A = this chain, B = another copy of it.
Amino acid sequence: METRFNSQLLERAVSELSKLPGIGRKTALRLALHLLRREPGEAKELGQAIIDMREKISYCHRCHNISEETTCPICNDSRRDQSIVCVVENVKDVITIEATRQHHGLYHVLGGLISPLDGIAPSDIEIESLIERVRTEDIKEVILALSPTIEGDTTNFYIFRKLQDSPVKVTMLARGLSVGNELEYTDELTLGKSIQNRIPFS
């Protein structure tokens, strides 16, 4: 039985909040009652921030990362190496890789991975625009930074095939031991890859 409240406004806020992923009606009610207890300005700022973000953020026409302008700040940053493009699945991955501070080139956000099971074909994601960028921009290296899953590997392979005849260098993220993890608890496939791809000690 769904609990009803004696306020349509509360009902509406709870119903909207519970559309968010991982937030059920109970949590939504807790959040709404929390906001009711706080200063009115706090709810106003939260609500307005959500509206503004959705209205004003769109996508970079070049790399498809989120951007408030036609071209995103990363693409516009002349200090970044314009000849290296890191291919990622989604916007979140850009944020994750930026946090490592190890990539100083540009990005290309696919917006998904090839997945025949989920009905996602190569034409549904931003692969054609990547090929076009390689053709028209002065790109020397494409780093494939997709998840080591079946979908990620399929997409990696598809892009690799498409770029095979172009002079661009195609690399991918290393597979190996997780820093800080015990060797004993590393799965066999990863351990095997880390032996195949062993690197000079330094």
Contacts and interface: CB of A to CB of B under 8 A. Distances in A.
A40 to B, nearest CB: 5
A36 B57 contact: yes
Residue of A17, A34, A47, A72 with most chain B CB atoms under a 10 A cut-off:
A47
Interface string A1-21: 101111111101101110111
B33 A44 contact: no
A32 interface: yes
A10 B56 CA distance: 10
A35 B10 contact: no
**Secondary structure at chain A's binding surface: helix, strand, loop or mixed?**
helix
B33 A72 contact: no
Contacts of A187: none
Interface of A: 1, 3-10, 12-13, 15-17, 19-23, 27, 29-36, 40, 42-57, 65-68, 72-74, 90-92, 95-96, 98-99
Given A47-B48, A47-B50, 17 more contacts: A4-B98, A6-B98, A7-B53, A7-B68, A8-B68, A13-B49, A13-B50, A17-B49, A19-B42, A20-B34, A20-B46, A33-B92, A35-B54, A36-B54, A36-B66, A46-B50, A48-B51
